[in-house]
Amino acid sequence: MMNVGLSEEEGVRYWDREARSYDMKVEKHEERYHKLVEYIINLTNPKKTDVVMEIGAGTGVASLLLAPKVKKVIAVDISKEMLRIAKEKAMKAGVHNIEFVRGTFHNPGIAGKVDIIITIDSLHCTTDGNYKKRAIEIMHNHLKDEGKIFLEDEMIVYNQEILKERADRIVRYLVKLANRSNKEFRDLLFEERPNIHDLKKFFHESTSYYIEDMAKTEHLLKLEDLVGYFEESGFEVKETKRLSSMSGTIYAKKTKKLEKRSKADLGVRAP
């Protein structure tokens, strides 16, 4: 896991403290990670000679699932306790081709380049759009030519038509549940409202405000903003997938070099 909008030092303390409970939550959703890693494998088609880096590896669930498919996995996380648990799980599973590295998106802590980078449920924890954009640039720099990247994360996948359709379904369901006429239902819940259609408007406006307000904070970015960051950073976005109004995936391929910058600026450790 990465930093939850905190300073790096605060983030380390937070995730070290939460590592064990986080791992318990992950285990409860193990099937989800199996399906997600299967999807990643189908998209990226890793070879047995490939080196994969996972940034925000947490307690290692995805890295452990990917390890048998590739030469090596580099599991990067900000939390020493997360990495300790991940390493313990790898030893118990008899998996020996994972390197555990303490690092961040801006400084993954590795010197070389890799074939594939994945990051799951981590980039949204960073503070703002500028940090995210630089993180994508740094990941680009750590990929070999034509390397691949997969991101699954919280993001704003706002679709007005879908929200309207859901509002309609909610209203129809509530009317049926109440087994009352529209007027009776209105009087029961919203006596001050002139008709039942205001309830639909209420759902739509409330959801729109919530999503748009979160977008202003830059804690979560819209899918199209993230896609723009990838393209500006030298990636060709091959596929995006909407998982919900608040989450999605991006799969991209490195296609061109960025303007030359210093190693320190790009977070590359000197060999």
- What single string gives the DSSP state of each residue in 94-140? T---EEEEE--SS-----S-EEEEEEES-GGGSS-HHHHHHHHHHHH
Query: At 240, is the secondary structure helix, strand, or coil?
Result: strand
- Tens digit of pLDDT for each residue in 106-136? 999 998 999 999 999 888 876 666 888 999 9
200-238 pLDDT tens trace: 555 555 555 455 554 444 456 788 889 999 999 999 999
H or E segment at 166? helix 160-178
* 241 Cβ neighbours under 8 A, 6+ residues apart: 248, 249
Q: Which domains occur in the chain, in start order? A: 8-156+220-254 (3.40.50.150), 160-215 (no CATH)
0.85 cut: is pTM over it? no
How far apart, in Å, are the Cα atoms of 251 and each of 77, 151, 235, 265?
21, 6, 10, 25
- β-partners of residue 204 are none
Tokens found for residue 48: 């047995």
Residues of the chain with pLDDT under 70: 1-7, 126-129, 156-164, 166-168, 170-220, 257-271
Sorted by sequence, the CB contacts under 8 Å of residue 202 that are 6+ apart come out as 190
Q: How far apart are CA 140 and CA 234, in angstroms?
A: 7
| Residue 118 dihedral angles phi and psi, to the nearest 5° | -125, 150
Contact 43, 22 (CB under 8 A): no
